[in-house]
Amino acid sequence: METWDAICARRNVRQYTNQPVSDADLDRIAEAGWRAPSAKNRQPWDFVIVTDRAQLQELSTVWMGARHIASAAAAIVLVVPVPPDERRKIVDQYDVGQATMAMMLAATDLGIGTGHSSVGDQDKARAILGVPDDRLVAFMLGLGYPADRPLRPIRKPNRRPFGEVVHRGRW
């Protein structure tokens, strides 16, 4: 798939087939996140790849919007250091967002759907994954082959009109 097609085809997928995602594909998706830009090239992230069905089921309970993780073939969990201040928190969130989007596009390129989720219960997420207390479990990315329809460029996306969003020179 071409880059532009992957951008146009990417959508949130929350229902997956039972087909597993290969280790090679999971590594490629994680590498896309690893290659993402970050402020001062700090690369604040660590990624935990989860494929164990029981672990995925447990992870689906750490946030009300994470139910899809239970039926995913895999999840990549993004972990960052506990920020020392509000500025670092904001910068790390931005950086993790870039890594997440890079992984989403790499997955889409492979025909693998993604659904992102926040994490509410830090203690539970840390316990499930063995993450130390000086780290935050920032976000989760469910991965799997879409159950409803394959990933193809969306011709008429459900988005605000382009002309309403883009401003040139001034608001």
Q: What is the CA radius of gyration of the chain?
A: 16
Both tokens of 64, joined, read: 């009300």
Residues in the chain: 171
**Model confidence, pTM:** 0.94
Distance between CA 144 and CA 107 in Å, rounded?
9
Give domain limits for the chain: 3-147
For β-strands 46-50 and 135-144, DSSP reports them as unpaired
Q: Nearest 5°: CA angle at 17, between 16 and 19?
A: 125
Beta-carbon count within 10 A of 54 CB: 9
For β-strands 113-118 and 74-81, DSSP reports them as unpaired
Name the residue with tokens 């997955």.
107
Strand partners, 120: none
Q: For 57-109, what is each residue's pLDDT tens digit?
A: 999 999 999 999 999 999 999 999 999 999 999 999 999 999 999 999 999 99
Three-state DSSP class for residue 117: strand
Q: For 118-165, what is each residue's pLDDT tens digit?
A: 999 999 999 999 999 999 999 999 999 999 999 999 999 999 999 999
CATH 3.30.365.10 fits 3-147, yes or no: no
Q: Could you tell me if 145 and 16 are in contact, meaning their C-beta atoms sit under 8 angstroms apart?
A: yes
